[in-house]
Copies of this chain bind each other. A is one copy, B any other.
Amino acid sequence: MQPSSTTPTHSADTVLLRVASNTLETLLWQRRDEPQALRFALPGGLLERGESLEAAALRHLVAKVGAGPVAHLEQLETRSEPERDPRGWLITTAFLALARPDVQVAERADTAWYPALEPPQLAFDHAELLQLAIERLRGKLSYSNIAFALVLPAFAISELRNVYQAVLGYEVSATNLQRVLERDGLIEATGERRAAGRRGGRPPELYRFVDERLTISRPYAAFAPRRS
């Protein structure tokens, strides 16, 4: 397992994000051994023979996360500077993965969810990778249906708004969120409603995402002629 310094060893590390109790959280584990003992690290690990990076990322996630496949996985960046890891030359491809609020993680003492916007002290360059993941997610919330991977299959608009708020970090109007996403054809009403909460209030209509795979709804088209 010790990387040599003449041939690169390849690993896949994943920023796994979810929104739970209105907070953007990421899954981290605390290192026991040097280097960087006690610091927190992204889940990940080495590539096996004949395995793709995506498969490796998912395999190492499964070792941490008990539940089934994550709802979305995409590449972020590949870091290859030879000095990244003091133990030897390690090339790492970082991934962004998204999970629904109901994922269950395996019971391991060293692994838990932490606030992604105020994480504990991270090992190596993992703080940068986390930041990169958050920015990627924020961007895609604005021009794609990526939020499908952060909510349950049927949801109330107010829940979706809470997800947007938790990720973007500012208040979002449920009214306008609904109209924009409906107009772009990203969400649709299921026809069902949920019972009202304890404190009363009108029962919310339940919506679903039309597509459960990443779809770009607003391709950038600056300086384009009007589409009328």
Residues of B within 8 A of A139 (CB): 219-220
In chain A, residues 1-27, which have Cβ atoms closer than 8 Å to a Cβ of chain B? Answer: 5-8, 10
User: This chain: how many copies in the complex?
Assistant: 2
A170 vs B51: C-alpha distance when bound (angstroms) = 42
* A37 interface residue (CB < 8 Å to B): no
Closest to A177 in B: B223
* Contact between chains at A47 and B8 (CB < 8 Å): yes
A52-B80, A77-B75 in contact; A222/B10 too (CB < 8 A)?
no
* Contact between chains at A220 and B138 (CB < 8 Å): yes
Nearest CB of B to A82, in Å: 5
* A191 interface residue (CB < 8 Å to B): no
User: Which range holds the interface residue count of chain A?
Assistant: 35 or more
Closest to A82 in B: B50
A222 vs B10: C-alpha distance when bound (angstroms) = 37
* A210 interface residue (CB < 8 Å to B): no
* A171 interface residue (CB < 8 Å to B): yes
A78 vs B45: C-alpha distance when bound (angstroms) = 17
* Contact between chains at A8 and B5 (CB < 8 Å): no
Can you list 29 residue pairs at the A/B interface with Cβ under 8 Å?
A5-B50, A6-B49, A6-B50, A7-B7, A8-B10, A10-B91, A51-B82, A52-B81, A52-B82, A53-B78, A53-B80, A54-B80, A75-B77, A75-B78, A78-B93, A80-B93, A138-B220, A139-B219, A143-B220, A143-B222, A164-B223, A168-B223, A170-B224, A170-B225, A172-B223, A173-B223, A177-B223, A180-B222, A180-B223
Interface residues of A (CB under 8 A from B): 5-8, 10, 47, 49-54, 75, 77-78, 80-82, 89, 91, 93, 138-139, 141-143, 164, 168, 170-173, 176-177, 180, 219-225
